[in-house]
Structure 1
Amino acid sequence: MLIAGVALRRLARDRSNLFFMLIFPLALILVLGMAFGGASTPRLGLLDQDGGPLAARVVNALRHTPGVAVVAADDEGDLRTAVERGGLQAGLVIPAGYGAAVGSGGQAALRYLARPDRLAQQLGVTVQAVVTREAGTLRAARFAAAHGTGSFGEALTAADAFGPLVPAVRVTVRTTGTALFPATLSTYDVGAASQLLLFVFLTSLTGAVALIETRRLGVSRRMTATPTPVRTIMLGEAAGRIAVALLQGLIIMVGSALLFGVNWGDPLGAGALLAAFALVGSGAAMLVGAVLRSEQQAGGLGVLIGLGLGALGGSMVPIELFSDTMRAVAHLTPHAWAADGFAELVRRGGGIGDILPELGMLLAYAAALFLAGAWRFGKALTS
């Protein structure tokens, strides 16, 4: 335990480690979630420069549109800035004179401000549908008023009353097969698991630098001169690596759940997957730390191997999007098995009993890596 405690204290003293363990993974989850839409309701900034009753109809229609959060704006410059900075997904400006123009049968152009992303384009379709529906009601009212059924205001009231009685177009959507990503699943949920696997493994491998430094400075060799058995030294070093990996994973899990509402599925299953993958990362760190001779080698190769296996194993692109051949190749890595386990928990509502094959493969990887690392580390200590 004392040897493992040294590993944790060394980790805490290096502030760069705290950044890569605490801040960077959560920031990356946030960026990926926002880039692919997230699970939040899109925010539409609305600036009514007209202030008349016809403009109020558009405002009221947008406020009652499901799936859109309307935010009032006071200035077009501020509205544009909020859209550019991502505080709002889009903005709509109703110009002054809108009511007079459309009330007399003329036209008025509404200005739609949006970011060049998928969510803003989808929101634009919704806004266009609302505006088009309002334009149809106004045309019907003008037609009725022009044919002597009363004033424009009376015709507009009648159009509002009879509008819901007109049979609407019914659209039926059927999805064949099983959706890869359920509609209730947010992109934060998808990205969080992949970032967890990427950073736990990457941090474990780069943590092999400390193990090499301990060997290079002769700390491990001097411990063998004490009554401490070699197996105790190896177990202590392994426990330190496991503690670091588990701490990294818990930070990502708890932080993403509290900050972004990430659903990790069955807690027991998620904890088991984290523990098994932490063992894999720790075993890889022990092997790298026992084989390589310099901290520079461990730092460079650790990043290269961590990113390479992460990309191949589905930690950067969901493994469901791989071809059949690449999916088979991906399952040569532990990342793919862990990703399958989290997919079962999060996307299909499975429990720990449903991920036993994945847990078994991860434990097999961990056992192989630990055995190889222990053999090589023991040889380095005694030679």
Structure 2
Amino acid sequence: MAHLDDGERHVSHARASLRALRLVAWVELRRRLRNRSAIVTAFVGPLALATVFGVLLGGTSSLDLTIGVADADRSAITSGFTGGLVAADTGGDPGTTDDDPVRFVAIDADGARAAVDDGDVDAAIVLPAGFGDAITTGRGATVEVVRDPTGQVSGAVAEAIARQFVTSIESRRLAAATAGALGVTVDAADLDQVTSSATTAIDEVGPGGDTVDAASFFGVTMSIMFLFFTVSFAARSIVSERANGLVPRMLASSAPPWSVVTGKVLAVSTLGLAGFATVWAVTQLVFGASWGDPFGVVVMMTCTVFAIAGVATFVCGLARTEAQADGYTSMVAFALALLGGNFIGPGQAPETLRRIATFTPNGQAIDAFTRLAVDDAGPGDLARQIVVLVGFGVVFGALGLRRVSRLVTS
């Protein structure tokens, strides 16, 4: 019976803790919505800067890429693919026109790397000698994509086209193998039909448009930067309320420290997510910008807010006063913004900075949102970024909540 009573007490205590968490979160959210500085930080700030960058740099963010296509094989399969992208010498229709944001030109396979290095093309797709024979005999074949380290977008476009080509070949080969297993005769021309789908790769490279819109890019980057300041309101609030005696009164009402801290973090994270979503909606409605697959955007927004909330809570947990919390937050926010590429246009970051950005939560988030907008990526394609962002949130969030909880009870 004693064990039953202990269990009931644990359940009752857990329910009371959750009620306290919900109450703290609701009260904190209402306070922030009535606070002008919180509204400016969560909504007005990122939207204003995204608008400024979008207007000033909008003319430089449109896609204007030249992709080289090198056919060292000259087989029916590879010739059909390249013929669907560039103008054939026999008078075939070109794959693109001068008005298209992505143009394709035929280049020599041996000079593909030099063409990219010299800036003659932004990226190159190389079909090696023996490619067609390897496909028809069932052996492995590789399509090489030569990319400029500083051209993130051009490399992604070329890689997407190459991937689409290989995928269509594999699907046709699987169909032919299945037909053979069933005793159905398959003409060799059926395999060559892979080339008929090559031109569809052009249309499937970018979702919702053929440009990397400056409004959407800087909408993402500015929202992420301001997230640091928005979610840091929780820890800064605890530091302030601890000094004026409000936190001790909350703890005296049987609310455990973790529920107080978690409730405040949940409230400001909700505010930050709402601000992020508002920027998304406004850039679409006002500027016609596309961020990519809506479900993928929501998933990445949530993961980004979670990661930034963890880092910001940890940073503020190092502070002993509200002034220190403000200083630490500003320093870390702008340092990560510089290292993560928040102020650099899409595809314009040098290779060194791009490598450094992979070690920052905002850099991972920006890369994911860029792939959503350019590469037709979905949540499944962004598994690495999702895992990294969740990892940032879990590790730094756990450390931050522990430090802030100690601050509450000290």
Q: Aligned match of 1:26 in 26, 38, 47?
A: 47
Which one has the largest radius of gyration?
A: 1
How far apart in 1 are the matches of 2:29 and 2:363? 28
Partner of 1:11: 32
How far apart in 2 are the matches of 1:220 and 1:347? 47
Paired AA for residue 203 in structure 1: T
Q: Is 1:206–1:303's contact at 8 Å kept on the other side of the alignment? A: no
Partner of 2:288: 261
Q: State the Cα distance separating 1:365 from its structure 2 match.
A: 0.2
Superposed, 1:208-247 pairs within 5 Å as: 208-247=235-274
How far apart in 2 are the matches of 1:190 and 1:288? 26
Partner of 2:183: none
Q: State the Cα distance separating 1:40 from its structure 2 match.
A: 12
Superposed, 1:359-370 pairs within 5 Å as: 359-370=386-397
**CA RMSD after TM alignment:** 2.6
1:286 aligns with 2:286: no
What is the TM-score when the length of structure 2 is the normalising length?
A: 0.57
1:336 aligns with 2:363: yes
How far apart in 2 are the matches of 1:367 and 1:173? 45
Q: Is 1:39–1:188's contact at 8 Å kept on the other side of the alignment? A: no
Seen in structure 2, the aligned counterparts of structure 1 residues 237 and 249 have a Cα distance that, compared at 3 Å, is: same
How far apart in 1 are the matches of 2:44 and 2:317? 29
How far apart in 2 are the matches of 1:25 and 1:215? 30
How far apart in 1 are the matches of 2:386 and 2:380? 10
Partner of 1:356: 383
Q: Is 1:264–1:346's contact at 8 Å kept on the other side of the alignment? A: yes
| Percent of aligned positions that are identical | 27
How far apart in 2 are the matches of 1:38 and 1:324? 24
* SS at 1:184 equivalent: coil
Q: Aligned match of 2:300 in 268, 273, 276?
A: 273
| Aligned residue pair count | 255
How far apart in 1 are the matches of 2:294 and 2:331? 32
Partner of 1:185: 212
How far apart in 1 are the matches of 2:28 and 2:59? 37
Higher relative contact order at CA 8 Å, sep ≥6: structure 1 or structure 2?
2
**Consecutive unaligned residues in structure 2, runs of 5 or more:** 1-21, 63-96, 106-120, 125-146, 158-209
How far apart in 2 are the matches of 1:13 and 1:369? 29
* SS at 2:353 equivalent: helix
How far apart in 2 are the matches of 1:238 and 1:21? 14
Superposed, 1:1-383 pairs within 5 Å as: 1-38=22-59, 174=105, 175=121, 176-177=123-124, 180=153, 183-205=210-232, 208-318=235-345, 320-383=347-410
Q: Is 2:61–2:346's contact at 8 Å kept on the other side of the alignment? A: no
Q: State the Cα distance separating 1:33 from its structure 2 match.
A: 1.6
Paired AA for residue 377 in structure 2: G
Q: State the Cα distance separating 1:15 from its structure 2 match.
A: 1.7
Partner of 2:90: none
Paired AA for residue 23 in structure 2: L
Q: State the Cα distance separating 1:358 from its structure 2 match.
A: 0.2
Q: Is 2:368–2:382's contact at 8 Å kept on the other side of the alignment? A: yes
Partner of 2:162: none
Seen in structure 2, the aligned counterparts of structure 1 residues 209 and 338 have a Cα distance that, compared at 3 Å, is: same
How far apart in 2 are the matches of 1:371 and 1:200? 18
Q: Which structure 1 residue ranges, 4+ long, deviate > 4 Å from structure 2?
A: 38-41, 170-173
How far apart in 2 are the matches of 1:238 and 1:297? 18
Q: State the Cα distance separating 1:206 from its structure 2 match.
A: 5.2
Seen in structure 2, the aligned counterparts of structure 1 residues 201 and 328 have a Cα distance that, compared at 3 Å, is: same
Q: State the Cα distance separating 1:329 from its structure 2 match.
A: 1.7
Q: State the Cα distance separating 1:348 from its structure 2 match.
A: 0.8
Paired AA for residue 31 in structure 2: R
How far apart in 1 are the matches of 2:271 and 2:364? 21
How far apart in 2 are the matches of 1:233 and 1:208? 11
**Consecutive unaligned residues in structure 1, runs of 5 or more:** 42-169
How far apart in 1 are the matches of 2:61 and 2:341? 25
Seen in structure 2, the aligned counterparts of structure 1 residues 345 and 222 have a Cα distance that, compared at 3 Å, is: same
Q: Is 2:238–2:408's contact at 8 Å kept on the other side of the alignment? A: no
How far apart in 1 are the matches of 2:55 and 2:251? 52
